[in-house]
Structure 1
């Protein structure tokens, strides 16, 4: 019997999860992965941790090439796809090689978009030497190299981060920790404006200012000159480094070229298949389902798991993903559930700008439908669980969930088994306690392999569960 040929374009976090799930289900087909980067797949969420200096680059690798070889998977790094030929059922690489497929998965992710700032691009089409994107391992290494070169000069290194979203705050925090004099420019009226309200943005701004980071909101960078980065407010910011973190869009050029329906992303149906071709699928940032693209890792992992089940013959349907976004930066804790700025419902909130906390729940019919937590995530597991299960609360519970600070001596070992510990991978405390070591928990549950924010809780749960009697 002929074995099915499955080709996956893209070698990021979504592809890694897809392949792991296919292996676990004993998928009976030949798998080829085409990744245009020269590196094995790595955890993009932790790039800011590498920039900050808390993680070595090697720690980001998800699976080594020998793992793929052991599974009989053809992993091709540095392989860029030029086009998809749907009628011939093959993809062509830039070197002219053609690879035949029976089924094709596009996991091409998102690509950065350049803001409309004059002077970013030189006459030869390259970025100005001061300008750095921050999307890939290569971007991170280039920025680290530039920081090292500048550090030999007898003056502080100055950086401007363009964009005050999740990625911009991570980069700004990392640069500040490294001793770089950092400024943030955000065009909207407050930081993280797509996810939090003005009160939350104010708390975040105060946190950055404590690090010596100046924040300019309601201001747009318009031109890069020899004097610095000029804003539309008339200010010019002196900068040795300019890091672009504002804006990204689904990578859909291959899908468009193949004549597939693309709006914001490649439009997919209930099996994550293209609405034009049942043998072509999409997962992660490049996929659009019911008018929505995700942009975060947990939904991409959920899509990968469901697609692996479908390809393995299981009867499953995709109905959309919950949205839980986490900001990974040392000492700066942010979690956003759903879309708190655009979801209708009653608002329950508590803000303490002095200690840097802001908590907000949107409640509809006594059910948490969205929320924001800044500065204290001690109850994120419980709140996420209630949000995810659409638990009906009493009239007083939403306020009670937000009121108490985490008391001294409070321990994650008191968490019930059903409490969610890792929001990225959807892992509860019971599954963590069933593992004997940190590495076993990481391998079997994938906890800590997303944003990494749950690492300390995972260690504490395992140590407490396996204390010698």
Structure 2
């Protein structure tokens, strides 16, 4: 046998991951935990280590420092033998040569490749957003990356008292940004082209509750109106209004980042089309996870499904016989004093609707029930039963006729109610962590490290702390 063949036989498998976001972090963590027998190279085009994008609005709001967003320090990767390269932008994927080329000309060979390139913002069709030289108007800010967040904070801090901002987009991100700017003392208005806020996730009644909440903060909401032109005087809407503004924040619109996959000749529709092992349908050595992946005609856009895909792919890469059958959809809005959870697709799922709305106190609760099974739901303003409802939703538990209504009529639980949760109840929807797994941890830090609870939207942090403290208490 030749020396070349011996060297090739002994060479470890090389896995290259393009993208260094939340999906990649979970994939690497799972591969390390499963003792993946290969070399891992992570290529991220941002200069920062991977960070929690969900909490960017909390940084803007001022409730979290920037360094609290880092998911794993570079030292952790080095300690695990993972080659992490930040500021490494991939220019091309050469499938025939089995390598990727960076913009600086560096070529990196791979045996298997994972595309975790996420999504990119799209500019709405507003005249005046882009200047003649191709740059954004000085008043205009995107809000998707840490760099975007830092630039926006700098701009807000430089504003004189009495300044105004307009947030374009009334979806999850738009509401978070509007809430954060209002908390920072900036008079904020929201422009949403559909008939109510969060129209992709909630119905008109839920949108009305959210609108009332923002109005209490002094935030005016314009629905059924589209921004069409930015001038020195302000932002003009298609209904004739003109909004004076010192800042315009774009939160509407985003699409999977698929340019690399397209140029490599992979099948792309909305996202990179993948099969049941999350492999490209054109090349079984190439995989895609997270916002850039499309499975069974669906793209996700949320962190929990991306994490679920990362875990399944890690299992597949370490030899398990697994298949991806789609992810449960549980979306959470993380903003101080503004609690929203959406299970499934309540606006397009057929079934009997059970709902309770109290716009005066700011709550809206809705379950879609089919065959006495919860198939979708919305909770706004009171998430005290989100753990139990999510558990019933996930398990497709058959309920008694009276139970859906009883679940929605529950009063807000007391602060220490988490000690009553059964071990199987889910407390972290982002990471899918049960109360029992939290109780098995001795400290909050251990719970974060071992279960990854609180590292998504952060909304479960208080419950996690209560569970750990109650587990320590003498019986």
When normalised by structure 2's length, the TM-score is 0.97
1:7 to 13, 16, 20: 16
Match of 2:129 in 1: 120
Between the two proteins, the alignment pairs up a number of residues equal to: 466
Task: Write the deviation string for residues 110-169 of structure 1: whole angstroms up to 9, x where unpaired.
Answer: 00000000000000000001000000000000000001111xx3x312110000000000
1:317 to 317, 323, 326: 323
Match of 2:444 in 1: 438
Q: CA RMSD in A?
A: 0.8
C-alpha deviation, 1:407, in angstroms:
4.4
CA distance in 2 between partners of 1:75 and 1:411 (Å): 42
CA distance in 1 between partners of 2:37 and 2:268 (Å): 30
CA distance in 1 between partners of 2:413 and 2:312 (Å): 39
C-alpha deviation, 1:411, in angstroms:
1.2
CA distance in 2 between partners of 1:255 and 1:83 (Å): 9
CA distance in 2 between partners of 1:230 and 1:67 (Å): 49
Match of 1:415 in 2: 421
C-alpha deviation, 1:410, in angstroms:
5.8
Match of 2:168 in 1: 162
Q: Partner of 1:223: helix, strand, or coil?
A: strand
CA distance in 1 between partners of 2:139 and 2:415 (Å): 47
- Contact 2:419-2:467 within 8 A present in 1 as well: yes
CA distance in 2 between partners of 1:238 and 1:314 (Å): 58
Match of 1:384 in 2: 390
Match of 1:82 in 2: 91
Match of 2:269 in 1: 263
Q: Partner of 1:62: helix, strand, or coil?
A: coil
CA distance in 2 between partners of 1:26 and 1:429 (Å): 27
Question: Is 1:251 aligned to residue 257 of structure 2?
Answer: yes
When normalised by structure 1's length, the TM-score is 0.99
CA distance in 2 between partners of 1:334 and 1:408 (Å): 19
Structure 1 gap segments, 5+ residues each: none
CA distance in 2 between partners of 1:8 and 1:324 (Å): 26
Q: Partner of 1:328: helix, strand, or coil?
A: strand
2:55 to 43, 46, 56: 46
CA distance in 1 between partners of 2:372 and 2:306 (Å): 29
What does residue range 264-413 of structure 1 map to in structure 2 within 5 Å? Answer: 264-408=270-414, 411-413=417-419
CA distance in 2 between partners of 1:404 and 1:380 (Å): 11
Task: Write the deviation string for residues 339-398 of structure 1: whole angstroms up to 9, x where unpaired.
Answer: 000000000000000100000000000000000000000000000000000000011100
Match of 1:67 in 2: 76
C-alpha deviation, 1:406, in angstroms:
1.6
CA distance in 2 between partners of 1:141 and 1:350 (Å): 40
Q: Partner of 1:168: helix, strand, or coil?
A: helix
Q: Partner of 1:333: helix, strand, or coil?
A: strand
What does residue range 93-242 of structure 1 map to in structure 2 within 5 Å? Answer: 93-150=102-159, 153=160, 155-242=161-248
Structure 2 gap segments, 5+ residues each: 1-9
Match of 1:453 in 2: 459
Q: Partner of 2:158: helix, strand, or coil?
A: helix
Task: Write the deviation string for residues 69-112 of structure 1: whole angstroms up to 9, x where unpaired.
Answer: 11111111000000100000000100111000000000000000
2:39 to 30, 48, 53: 30
CA distance in 2 between partners of 1:343 and 1:395 (Å): 19
